[in-house]
Amino acid sequence: MKLSNLITTIDSQIPIVALEVLSPEEATIIQWLTTEVMDKLNSPVYFWNLGVSSLEQCLIADDGGLVFKSVDTYKKPPHADPLIYVFEYISNFEGNGVFILGDVHPFVGKNSLQLSWEVLTRVKNLYHRLKPTEKRIVLLGQNIQLHESLLDLSEIYNGKMVER
C-alpha cells in the first residue's frame, strides 16, 4: 500500500502496521511520520530500535529537523529480553501514541531464520490489547514479509519516498 494511506490506517482501528523502508530513507520516513501524526492525529510518536533498545520520543525542531528525547520511564531491566520488554511497556503505557519499532521484522518475518513463536504470539496479543486504545505500532524495516499468522492483523506499506 502507498505511504499516503498510512495515517488513515493508523487513525483507524488497525493497531499494528508494517512499513517497509530502506535504511538511507529511514530518518526521512520517521520525520515525515512524526510530522503527519502530530499534525493530523495530535498524538505523540516514539521510536525504539532493537540495536539500541531505548525508547525515545520523536519531536520536530523549529527548523523542521527530527529530534529524539529519551523517555525517562522506560527502564529495561538488565536481563530482560528487549523486544518482549518493549511490547509489555507499550501495553502498559499510560496514554496514547504511535510507537515505531525498528528492526523487529526478522522476528515476525515469513521464512525468517530468526522467527520467534514467542514474539509472534506477543504481537498477536498486543494487537488485541491495543485495538480498543489509541496506541498504535509501526513495524519499520527492510524487506518486510510478515509471517502468515500476522497478515490478517496488519497492513504493509511501502515507504519509498516517491510513493508518498
Spacing of C-alpha 19 from chain mean position: 8
- The tally of CA atoms less than 13 A away on the side-chain side of residue 155 is 18
- Sole residue written with cell 521484522: 105
**Which pLDDT band, with edges at 50, 70 and 90, does 103 fall under?**
confident
CB 29 within 8 A of CB 139: no
Please say if the pLDDT value at position 20 is more than 60.
Answer: yes
At residue 70 the predicted structure's pLDDT band, cuts being 50, 70 and 90, is very high
Average confidence score pLDDT of the chain: 80
Backbone Cα Rg of the chain: 15
pTM over 0.95: no
Number of domains forming the structure of the chain: 1
Per-residue model confidence (pLDDT) at position 17: 83
Inter-residue contact 17 to 10 (CB < 8 Å): yes
pLDDT digits (tens, 9 = 90+) for 117-154: 777 778 788 888 988 999 999 988 776 665 455 555 55
Q: Which residues contact 26 (CB under 8 A, 6 or more apart)?
A: 102, 140
CATH code of the domain covering residue 144: 3.40.50.300
Please state the rounded mean pLDDT for residues 35-43: 94
Highest mean pLDDT among 18-32, 66-80, 94-108, 120-134: 66-80
Spatial distance between the Cα atoms of 81 and 95, rounded to a whole number of angstroms: 24
User: 6 is written with which cell numbers?
Assistant: 498510512
Range of the domain at 87: 3-160
Residue written as grid cell 489509541: 134
